[in-house]
Amino acid sequence: MSQSVPSREVARRVFAAEYNDASYTFKESDDERAPLYLLLPTGERANRVFVVGTLTEKEDVGEDSEYWRGRIVDPTGTFFTYAGQYQPEAASALRELEPPAYVAVVGKPRTYETDDGSVNVSVRPESITTVGAATRDRWVAETAARTLDRIEAFDDEGNEYARMAREQYDLPVEEYRDAAVAALQSLDDADELEGEGEAPA
């Protein structure tokens, strides 16, 4: 494969609890077109992310033109996504959608430093699509598995991104294990509720 064709970066699955703790971005080369990565606290780089959750609210926060903010909740926390004129498809999806709705979002991590020096992380969406409960449950299960895999490899000598994460973040990765396990348990709890005869009308 020729090197001149940039391959699309794999979209990482990550829970909100971990994503919102990420604040460090970096490039791996000086080329201005080089991808910008967000360093996840569990020791992985993310140029694109894939998240699924419940769109709980949306708001047009634009002043001169439409600029939509969506609030998407997974079992561990909340993602914020922003779409305007440069993300026309995602913006129109947010305009049309009626919360609450399960949505899948593929997009780029965006960091923003606030006046007090803290960093807010959001998703700049490439696409926003409505999904069903089964897709959402599968995302939770797969994201938990990926998170646990990253934690498993966190102490490996050769894991450069884990080493970077230890330097940049003073965060106990066990918290993300707990969040992943709790997310899996939330699926089991929901299954049990559905399995207890007919829901009251």
Instruction: Check residue 166 and give its pLDDT.
Output: 96
Q: Does residue 118 fall inside a structural domain?
A: yes
Structure tokens at 68: 């939509």
Q: Does residue 165 fall inside a structural domain?
A: yes
Q: Does residue 198 fall inside a structural domain?
A: no
Instruction: Check residue 196 and give its pLDDT.
Output: 58
Instruction: Check residue 170 and give its pLDDT.
Output: 87
* pTM assigned to the model: 0.90
Q: How many domains does the chain have?
A: 1
In terms of residues, how long is the chain?
A: 201
How far, in Å, CA of 153 to CA of 88, rounded? 38
pLDDT band at 200 (very low <50, low <70, confident <90, very high): very low
DSSP E strands: which ranges in the chain?
11-13, 25-27, 36-40, 44-46, 48-60, 68-74, 77-83, 101-113, 119-130
The range of the structural domain enclosing residue 169 comes to 11-189
Q: What is the pLDDT of residues 82-101, one digit of tens each?
A: 999 999 999 999 999 999 99
Q: What's the average model confidence in pLDDT over 20-40?
A: 95
29 pLDDT more than 90: yes
Q: Does residue 144 fall inside a structural domain?
A: yes
Closest CA to 97 of 127, 126, 138, 128: 128
Q: Does residue 5 fall inside a structural domain?
A: no
Instruction: Check residue 190 and give its pLDDT.
Output: 78
Q: Does residue 1 fall inside a structural domain?
A: no
Q: Does residue 200 fall inside a structural domain?
A: no
The domain that holds 155 is classified in CATH as 2.40.50.140
Q: Does residue 4 fall inside a structural domain?
A: no
CB atoms within 10 A of CB 143: 24
198 pLDDT more than 70: no
Q: What is the pLDDT of residues 131-161, one digit of tens each?
A: 999 999 999 999 999 999 999 999 999 999 9
